[in-house]
Structure 1
Amino acid sequence: MSVKENLANIEQQITEACERVGRDPKDVRIVAVTKYVTEERTREALAAGVQHFGENRVEGGVEKRNAFGTEGIWHFIGSLQSKKVKKMIGSFDYIHSLDRLSLAEELNKRAGGQAVRCFIQVNVSGEESKSGLEPAEVESFVRELAKFPAIEVVGLMTMAPFVEDPEETRPFFRKLRELRDEIQQHQFSHAPCHELSMGMSNDFVVAVEEGATFVRIGSSLVGREL
């Protein structure tokens, strides 16, 4: 299927999920994960109406993003090493993987006076294979980030376990939403924390029902070509 057809199908699923829980579908944005596809396929997604694009490697990701100039809104969604911040800073509109103070320090150092919009990555499932803070660490981490003026915490991000039945991911997405709500109650000026980046091709419907505002979709939207 074409990206346009895939997008229409995904948007319909998002609309139906929002209707079930009383949400506005406009509050959910689709991030096309383009790591495994060519620039041509990425341009097909842009032409189809996709506005948000996600790359999870500095090498290759920066080049692809920069090839689009002012087109699209770009998200860095992979694990980020502090030593690679210099190369990627300024190329992405959002970073989804802030999980340690040393990375925040480097982002702040390289920001050049510009705000760096970040999601804090939370390992809600506790899986050793996943990066991110433990839920109990998030509030204190947010407080520590106040000393880095360039860092703006726009929300929280998580990856649920990959399971056959998407319904089994619901407790993890719900936990992240509850944690986001707790952070919001503090009204930190540097951490408005309105957003939730959660849900991928296999479980985005459940994530939307639980409050996702960004869903990161690769294979079911743009496929895997590279």
Structure 2
Amino acid sequence: MGKNDLNKRILDIAAITEKEAQRAADAGDLAEAKRVISNGIRDLRDYKRELTEAERSIREQFQDAKLKNRASGQTVGMFVGSKTRAAMARGRAAEGRRLSSNQAAVLQPYARAKANVDRAIAAMDRAKADVTNEAARMREGKSSSATSATSAQATVTQARAAPTAPPPPPPVPAQWATDPHGRHQHRWWDGTRWTEHVSNDGVVSSDPV
């Protein structure tokens, strides 16, 4: 399987998850958007396990080939000269290096794909956190609105339950009346307020209030 084939699965999962999560968010269903993202993360983790299993199988195949290479020629080597045995040993060593190089080349796309899976999961984790925070803000906004509405209703209820204040006394006409301050016998009430005009035994004078 080529590198592009390995990464195509990641791109497909990410694209489908983003599309479905955006659709749910646009509909105002943040809980569904969060669920979709969680499913996408789960699918990516399952795919990473598949990649790891594929790597294990590849290593086993190369390990078998390496064992066969190390065993090759050993029986024949017992019946040939030292130079021939040395040449055969060099051949086995070269083949071992070739197998190791090929193994690394075959495994490299899988390692890169797993790194891409990790990056995609990290991006989805951030998106999931954003959805969670947005849902919390919406709940707080609704709670604040409900609290404000309850407070306003309580104020109205209290206002309705409060006793009605008595009506103001009828206006008193302008006249001489007993000085409320007690400094003189009488003080002039002009119909709205006390004035500085005072009277004692019929003698009028001035004493500011």
For this structure pair, what is the TM-score category when the shorter chain's length is used for normalisation? Answer: under 0.3
TM-score w.r.t. the length of structure 1 is 0.19
More helix by share: 2
Larger Rg: 2
More strand by share: 1
Q: Give the structure, 1 or 2, with the largest relative contact order (CA under 8 Å, sep 6 or more).
A: 1
